[in-house]
Amino acid sequence: MSFEMWAEKYRPKRLDEMVDQKEIVERLKSFVKARNVPHCIFAGPPGTGKTTAALCLARDFYGEGYREHLMELNASDERGIDVVRETVKTFARSRSIGEIPFKILILDEADNMTSDAQQALRRTMERYTETCRFILCANYSGKIIEPIQSRCAPFRFTFLPREEHDKYIKQIAERENVQLLPDGVDAIFEVCGGDLRRAINTLQAAASVNKPVDAKLVYSITGRASPADVQKMLTTAIKGDFLGARKQLRDMIQKYGVAGSDIIRQIHTEIFKATEIPEPWKIKLAGIVGEIDYRLVEGSDEEVQLSALLARLVEAGYEMKK
């Protein structure tokens, strides 16, 4: 098995190789065909191909020597006004040598830039449009100031659909000679929810154990409890067996090494899947879970609060029976 990071190894090199995001790819291809591109904002959840799309666009524009015409900065590390005044401005003001008269500057995690840096960037984008095009990648486009948004063409990336996600993961497993079982594919999607980068890294971490990749292995690698175990614990609590449910909770924490905040999220998800809980009670239990989650965020003891949650579930079970 290769020790090279698979997420980088299987990153698409051209726009034609992009996974899903068909509408965005078609728009970017039209820019390549016209040999011109506006300033852009690539917004959407992590692991959906924002930075990859920007790099593919640059490669399709300039060919294999694209690195000479490209600068990639991560704004979460270099997010102050000095970076815009010095690094960005120096790169943007010089003209590109070659057929394409402009360079491309990719600002990753642009929504982490300070307000002052964004204001300085707005002016830089305005002054050096002829020599440089900016591509801003952000998880939340709303955190980018309006003057920058109005200067950019927006692109909205979305999580990959289940079919595309499973197909790509299976292809990688086949190429790397990894035995990926069907419940392992389901578990990877359950954990990653369409974040392809995270899914590939999860697959590599599971494959490094040199065992068939099944659901049990995926959950243990990612520190997540099995949904079946969480559902079993909920059922036990609602039936009135508080001590039994508490023992199952402790076993899960010990077995999977799962954090309290993570197991709270899983309980929240499983409550809405539980068929034995009436709809009005799902609403009430969602409120209870939200209250316990808030207490954990504020620094309360995990075991005490999770036990309190189970106690509330037991009480709810008694009320449902009446």
The b-or-e profile of 6-42 (16+ CB within 10 A means b, else e) is: bbeebbbeebeebbbbeebbeebeebbeeeebebbbb
Which two tokens mark 97? 């040598």
Alpha helices of 41-144 — where are they, by DSSP H? 50-62, 81-83, 89-93, 115-127
CA distance 78 to 72: 11
Q: What is the pLDDT of residue 110?
A: 86
**Where does residue 186 rank: exposed (0-12), middle (13-18), buried (19+ CB within 10 A)?**
middle
pLDDT at site 73: 82
Superfamily of domain 21-156: P-loop containing nucleotide triphosphate hydrolases (3.40.50.300)
The pLDDT value given to residue 77:
63
Q: Which two tokens stand for residue 229?
A: 């175990």
Q: Retrieve residue 190's tokens.
A: 């359950």
How far apart CA 157 and CA 43 sit, in angstroms, is 6
Using a 10 angstrom Cβ sphere, with 0-12 exposed, 13-18 middle and 19 or more buried, the burial of residue 300 is: middle
DSSP label at 153? E
Please report the pLDDT score of residue 115 as a whole number. Answer: 83
Beta strands of the chain (E only): which ranges?
40-43, 70-74, 103-108, 132-138, 153-156
Q: Quick one: CATH architecture of 227-321?
A: Up-down Bundle (1.20)
CB atoms within 10 A of CB 102: 18
Mean pLDDT per 10-residue run, the chain (322 residues)? Answer: 67 86 90 90 90 91 86 71 74 80 88 84 86 90 90 90 90 90 91 88 89 88 84 89 90 79 86 83 89 89 89 88 75
Each domain of the chain, given as residue ranges in start order, spans 21-156, 162-222, 227-321
For the chain, what percentages of helix, strand and coil (3-state, to nearest 5) are there? 60, 10, 30
| pTM of the complete model | 0.80
Q: Give the single-character DSSP code of 213.
A: B
The confidence score (pLDDT) of residue 1 equals: 46
Tell me the CATH class for 162-222: mainly alpha
21-156 and 227-321 in the same fold: no
Q: What is the pLDDT of residue 4?
A: 56
**How many other β-carbons are positioned within 10 Å of the β-carbon of residue 270?**
20
Please tell me the distance from the alpha carbon of residue 234 to that of residue 313, in angstroms, as a whole number. Answer: 8
**Residue 8 to residue 186: CA distance in whole angstroms:** 23
The Cα 96–Cα 180 span in angstroms is: 47
Q: Which residues pair with 43 in a beta bridge?
A: 138, 156
pLDDT for res 90: 81
Q: Count CB atoms within 10 A of the CB of residue 174.
A: 10
